Chains A and B, each alone.
Chain A
Amino acid sequence: MRNRLFRPIVLIIIIALGMYGCIYQVDKLNTDVRFDMSLALPLAKGRLNMRSLIPPKKDSTYAIEHYDEANDGDSIIRLIYEQDSAVLIDEFIELPRMIPYRSSYGISDSIIDDFDVDDSVTFERLVFDGYEGQDSIDLLNFADAGATTLVPNPGTGNYFGTKPIEGEFTVGIVDGVQFDYIVLNNGQLVITVNNGYAVPISFTITLYTIQSAGGGFEQLGDPIFVPQVPAGSAGPLPPRDLQNAIISGIMKYEISDVILYAGDASNVIERPDLLKLGMEVYDLSVNSGQAYFFDKLLKLDTLQYFTIIEENGAKQLYEIGIESGFINYDITSEFDAPINVSLDLPSTTRGTDTASFDALVESRGSYTDKWQLGGYTMDLTQNPDQPFNSLPAHLNVSLNTDPNEPLFFNTADSVYVDLYNVDSLHYDYVKGYWGQDTIVVKEETREFGLGDFFPSWKSGDIIFTEPKVTLEYVNPTGIEGVLDLNMTGLKHDKDGVLQNEVTLQREYTIERMQDVTDDPIDSLFVIGPQEINPVFSTLPDELRYSGILYVNRNAGPETINFVKTGANTAMNLTAELPLKLKINDFTLEEEFVFGFDSLDNFSFGELEKLTIYFKVKNQFPLNLSVNAVLLDTTKRVELQPLGTLIDNTLIQSPEVSPVGKVERGVFKEYVEVIEFDVDDGEMLDKIMQANKVLITAVLASPKDNNSVTLYTYYGLDFNIAIDANVTVQSIEED
């Protein structure tokens, strides 16, 4: 039993001693520790190659293209600045239009020309009608005996009439008008007498006329005394003024107070002998009246010329192909009858058709409408006096009345015709001669993206060896001229103050199309490196161009110019800048984020030693001199530089082929190792303080001032890394 208990007890004691020993040991444990660590951190890595720095891009300002010039798969970058522009022909050749034509037509106050009418009285009628109750034997014998002649008894004295004799003057159709009556403004009336009797005669004549439509005859003025008219003689009486008088188509007259004077035996008067009376009306000015118009034309079909001009009127127009357009018309009639208006344009044709238009205006009505001219070709050269801008036209205006119905008229009534084209004539083409004129190519200003090539460029000269500016001028007109183009490159500082300005002026002869149906003339002008380099050598940030197009500078009137609608000139200016350049002290500068504060959520502990590795792989065919300055950009500008990290370190170029090219995968590697230890406390503080590093790289000038070609795969690989030997220490303070 003793043995059985002994062993477990011994075992328990051993365990207890072990536990105690451990507690005792652990109680003496010093937990102070220190870890000497080396932290190898990649701080920054970059591959700034040309492809990534200047990626292909296209926007409204410029385009960057990567093109394979030699088709060997290696691309070169070129900047393409394109500026599309157009000389707006619409501003130069305005829409043609017709000078408004306005005319009025009415019945003229001279619608009835001078006219004369006559009548006669036989001796037989004179005796029987005018001497009723006469007691003269001679007359009685003549009347009763049926004698054919009368020989007045000499010495028996004169024969005095006892009764008036009536007669009529009938006016026929005068100038196509037969009037019932007319109201005169003015006029003269003359009575003429031709005595066919064998003895003298005197009498009084009284005229009667109709005063109004449906009215009866009324005496026209005072009776006219006709003094003794010798036998066989004639003569006019004094004229009578007809101002405001009314004369009718049938005028009545009355002869009274007839005296036949006695003669001798030789004076034999036969029964058929005539006393002729004439009435002449002249110097008529008609006011109104009622008449039958047998000839209905108010306006005769006479040729006239409308005038078609371009807006400013200075250009000679020969032919217009009308796309759309109208001749508008407004017609107003004061007549109590319908009016017909017709227009014929003999030189305005559409195929075999000639433009012709009609309009009917109701009695005392008005009408407004338009005549379509779309599709017609208008020849404006048919006027012998002015073989341009003239459009031949026939305009007819006529009454649309029944010739058997009288028409009351007033010479103050008119038909008013207005012809015009408010909307102008939209043309397919216009031919003419524009004369020698100028068109201003308004100045175009664009932000120029050349700085994007080298946004980090600080200073130094750069000359593009193969810049090219191409001007493409597409001329779809028959206008030739000379384009005087100014192109200016401007460079501003960051505050926008102009630093440099270089202008290039060039003249280009612009050819014209010979015919409307020809293809547009595409003129291509290339400005070579020698000329354009001054503009681009300053890396302008703005490009302006402007100019003047001298129209027909070398073309005379024999030249037929033309323009077509919608075919404005297109001007495309393309500046191509391949990265083939000569550089001298070319300095690039760029700020990079650099800062141990970027090691967020990381505490360095106590820094014992810091090694900075700056590794560069240079693939450019040029040596580089690199400088790195620590910055604290949270401070004022003058206080920002904290110290130089890399001082003008030379990084040589890799092997360059005989053609000046660095092949793919070939580069020159350079490693700069910068070590700081605890003795460099001040510099370490600055490193810790810095938030950016300013890298300045100066590209060495090529040997013999040769140009270099920068391929897209060229680049700089760089790594910035640190080895930080730090001590992380934990010392428990009692």
Chain B
Amino acid sequence: MKEITLNDIECGHAARVIYVKGQGSLKKRMLDMGMVPDVLVSVVRKAPMGDPIELNLKGYNLSLRQKEAETIVVQEQ
């Protein structure tokens, strides 16, 4: 079965984080910003030109590019 990542989630939908792929500073920053297992992340909108996307987690809004969202493995709610 193919893993679902955050970029697969449509606007207005939410997903639960399973884990963050990759390593190094990108992963560390993701963890620091609260992308830890079991956190509920909702996809708020896409930027006018389709990328980046705006997310809501832990009561605040974060934006990531589609490419970064691909590193976050999730389970759709």
- Chain B associates with chain A: no
Residues of B that sit less than 8 Å from A by CB: none
